[in-house]
Amino acid sequence: MVARFPFRNFAPVLALTAMLLSAGSASAASQYILLSVEPQNKELAPGKVFNPGDTLTVPDGVTVTLLGEDGSVSPVAGPASVKITADGQPAADEKERRTAMEKIAGLLAGKGGEASTLGVARAFGVTRSAGGGDPWAAPTDRDGHVCQRGSRILLARGQSQTAATLSAKGLAGEAKELFWPAGKGFLSLPGGFRVGDGELEIRIGGDKPTLLMVHALPGAISENDPVAVLGWMAAQKCNVQALAFAQELAAKAK
């Protein structure tokens, strides 16, 4: 990637260029997605894809975060102008990564209304910028798909001011009257409810039950590969968690 920039922004953009070029030829990025734009800008929007030959122009006072197909996450502060180039050789799994990038771009661009679910992520504290959350926590306010990792299933609730009781029923068994302390937005289910694909019914207090379709992160996907993780989340329709994961990546890159 080659950058053109005004003198006063020389150092940060040069550093960005060096970072992007340092990925190496085996996994170099030649396609980028806008993960975030702060503050909002009518010319730039999350989900926009940049290919070789394109130029990213960032206005003064705006900071964008780019996700490269090699997994790099890089902030660019305006004013800046960055030209996208095809760096290095294509990765061995280029087709799979491009498919993942397409899914991520569609989710971030809000195709089908997915972007509206970010409000749910914030309400449930799923995104870390909302106060120490966890994008892997499964919101329990509505039926839908949720993505999990590790051995324990992690749940999130929006109204955490008061204590509550929770019942859970899944393929692995059933648990009743689990205690959810006041002030706690997250709860790990007992060890009997190990992460695995399948339906999980959750009831909090006297609320109607919520049916979650749990998807377990495959062992072939590294948690340290944001493109693979985000692409997988989007493919499983874990939209709330995927958007929160993208927001966390952008926040960590600052």
Domain range enclosing 131: 112-253
Q: Which residue has the higher pLDDT, 191 or 18?
A: 191
Q: Tell me how far apart the alpha carbons of residues 91 and 104 are, in angstroms, rounded to a whole number.
A: 18
User: Is 97 part of any domain?
Assistant: no
Is pLDDT of 247 > 50? Answer: yes
Average per-residue pLDDT for the chain? 81
User: Is 105 part of any domain?
Assistant: no
Domain stop point among 30, 59, 90: 90
User: Is 185 part of any domain?
Assistant: yes
Strands (E), the chain: 2-4, 32-38, 49-50, 55-58, 63-68, 73-77, 80-83, 138-139, 144-148, 154-156, 164-170, 173-180, 186-188, 198-204, 210-216
Q: In terms of domains, do 86 and 119 share one?
A: no
DSSP helix/strand/coil, 229? helix
Q: Which residue has the higher pLDDT, 160 or 179?
A: 179
For residue 3, give both structure tokens: 């950058």
% of the chain at pLDDT higher than 70: 77
Q: In terms of domains, do 72 and 163 share one?
A: no
Is pLDDT of 28 > 90? Answer: no
User: Is 174 part of any domain?
Assistant: yes
Using only the alpha carbons of the chain, give its radius of gyration: 20
Report the side by side order of strands in the sheet with 173-180.
144-148, 210-216, 198-204, 164-170, 173-180
Segment 91-97 shows an average pLDDT of: 80
Domain stop point among 90, 121, 147: 90
Q: In terms of domains, do 116 and 207 share one?
A: yes
Q: Which residue has the higher pLDDT, 4 or 112?
A: 112
Segment 79-93 shows an average pLDDT of: 77
**For residue range 184-230, what is the model confidence (pLDDT) as tens digits?**
999 999 888 888 889 999 999 888 999 999 999 999 999 999 999 99
